[in-house]
Amino acid sequence: MTAIPVPTISAKDLHDLLGGSAEFALIDVREARVTAEQGSILLAVSVPLSRLELRVDALIPRRSTPVVVYDSGTEGLAERGARRLGELGYTDVSVLDGGVRAWAEAGHKVQTGGDHVIGQAFGEWIEEIYQTPHISVPEFLSRLDAGEDVVLLDSRPLAEFENHSLPGGTSIPGAELVYRAGEIVKSPDSLVVVNCAGRTRSILGAQVLINAGLPNRVVSLEGGTQSWVLEGHELDHGRRATAPLPTGEALDAARASAARIAERFGVRRIDREALRRFRDAADERSLYVLDVRTPEEFETGHLPGSHSAPSWDVAPWVFRHIATHNARIVLVDNDLVRATVVASWIIQFGWGEVFVLEDALSDEALVAGPVARRVLGMPEDGYELVTPARLRAELDASAGPQVIDLQPSPGYRTGHIPGASFAIRARLADTVDEIPGAGPIVLTSEDGVLARFAAVELGRATTRPVLAFDGGTSAWHALGHPLESGDGTFLHPADDVVFLGWQQPDPQLRKAGFRR
């Protein structure tokens, strides 16, 4: 049966759409490294076809949202992605005719370097517009050597900070800087230096403290921990240093700072009745309700229907949570400080119509725990499940099945079922002849969900028995079965991630990555 053609949109019409006020979502369905190397459209959100069903519901909740899908222009991934979205219930889906190639040929800029370029571009824009002050690593060290009063604030989340940090720093990420800085910066005469791994988050962190009216001189550390290493200095590893939640004068100062930011950027507040109206109209106008507190606070108790989006992840990475442009965005926290700061970022970003919810967590039946991920189109048949016990027995046999692991490549390198080969789901059916052996194929993934989708697809492309591993690699590990680490066997290149300098074990390659 001939497939129904997918509607297309020209580069000119897409350019007009991007400049308008109507809702739209522009998604790039290629793998991350392909996007980084071949280039992307600035306002696009990366949603690789390999993981589409796992991510798209949260990113594009309204099924009638106009969605434009693109690839490089020759792979056919965009057409596959558009058809899959239609199967998942999206009713207004089109493909960019000619993909990125046509976009470039029409005279529009193609961005290279990653699937998150717009977040980095926002940081550069902030520095250019506000002339955010910065100092170099040598100047920072000379001030410390001279005995100056310097407070070093690291704008990255704690996990990154613990991995590597500058000596003497304190982790206060995202909008937590405005909220908690008063607990660390005790004198208005201290020089406040904000750092991150590179540039973007240090620029945003320094500028938001300036916007908040902190009386201190505030600067970003140029190049962050990368410049620190390139200058020949050692980093701390495993150190844990955080700021407490604000109380007393520090909390009063944070609230006053939020009020200044709200007035400067026109941050709008709504009450619960307005939120109810927004929810009632969510079939006509997309709505995102994001709780910008820490994940720990969110899981203690959150507003029903909200999603955890820590402030450091929303800015400048709003596209990790919201793929629809010009949608309604309602931000939630406990006392309007962090939500107001994040709202000011999104207003400057121009991503959507943003509001802060008043009295968000008071007199409300809150929900505890994390929000379960909603996976669309989960197949109920068309595949056979294999249990950990059965797989263990069959792997111990002389002619066991070939295990294919679909988890992200960094996770595969960290630990995979012995003998498993890495593969990318979107490429698997087209390369079935490259799968070793002639017997059964067992597909696994982190939790076994992605393996079920892939088992249905691969089963249509081969006569070999195809099974999905129930519970995935995490179930195997939970039962105490061994895992292998290292490169293993790659059926496809690890194009699912952009290999960053910090991931290089060789010090010289790591420094080359930093310079690049």
Q: What is the DSSP string of 161-229?
A: HHHSB-TT-EE--TTHHHHHGGGT---TTSEEEEE-SSSHHHHHHHHHHHHTT-SSEEEEETTHHHHHH
Residues 254, 185: one domain? yes
DSSP classification of residue 367:
B
* Residue 469 counted as domain residue: yes
- Sign (positive or negative) of CA dihedral 137, 143, 144, 146: positive
Residues 106, 149: one domain? no
Q: What type of residue is 157?
A: P
Residues 96, 203: one domain? no
Q: What is the mean pLDDT of residues 161-176?
A: 96
Residues 26, 63: one domain? yes
Residues 324, 397: one domain? no
Give the model confidence (pLDDT) of 193-205 as tens digits. Answer: 999 999 999 999 9
Q: What is the β-pairing status of strands 384-386 and 353-357?
A: unpaired
Q: What is the mean pLDDT of residues 177-182?
A: 97
The last residue of a domain, from among 338, 357, 376: 357
Q: What is the pTM of this model?
A: 0.94
* Residue 376 counted as domain residue: no
* Residue 506 counted as domain residue: no
Q: What type of residue is 152?
A: L
Q: What integer pLDDT is reported at residue 503 of this predicted model?
A: 66
The last residue of a domain, from among 259, 294, 329: 259
* Residue 147 counted as domain residue: yes
Strand partners for 355: 268, 330
Residues 104, 139: one domain? no
Task: Count up the domains in the chain and report the number.
Answer: 4
Residues 180, 51: one domain? no
Give the model confidence (pLDDT) of 27-64 as tens digits. Answer: 999 999 999 999 999 999 999 999 999 999 999 999 99
Whether the per-residue pLDDT at 448 is higher than 90: the answer is yes
Q: What integer pLDDT is reported at residue 141 of this predicted model?
A: 97
* Residue 512 counted as domain residue: no
Residues 247, 135: one domain? yes
Write the DSSP string, 352-363: SEEEEETTTTSS
The last residue of a domain, from among 226, 259, 292: 259
Q: What integer pLDDT is reported at residue 2 of this predicted model?
A: 56
* Residue 514 counted as domain residue: no
Residues 419, 481: one domain? yes
Domain holding 99: CATH number? 3.40.250.10
Whether the per-residue pLDDT at 116 is higher than 90: the answer is no
Q: Which domain holds residue 243?
A: 122-259
Residues 155 and 197: their CA atoms lie apart, in Å, by 9
Q: Are the beta carbons of 129 and 220 closer than 8 angstroms?
A: no
* Residue 451 counted as domain residue: yes
- Going by C-alpha positions, the residue among 35, 116, 25, 18 that lies closest to residue 75 is 35
Residues 132, 88: one domain? no
Q: What is the mean pLDDT of residues 420-437?
A: 96
Residues 470, 489: one domain? yes
* Residue 479 counted as domain residue: yes
Residues 101, 52: one domain? yes
Q: What integer pLDDT is reported at residue 515 of this predicted model?
A: 78
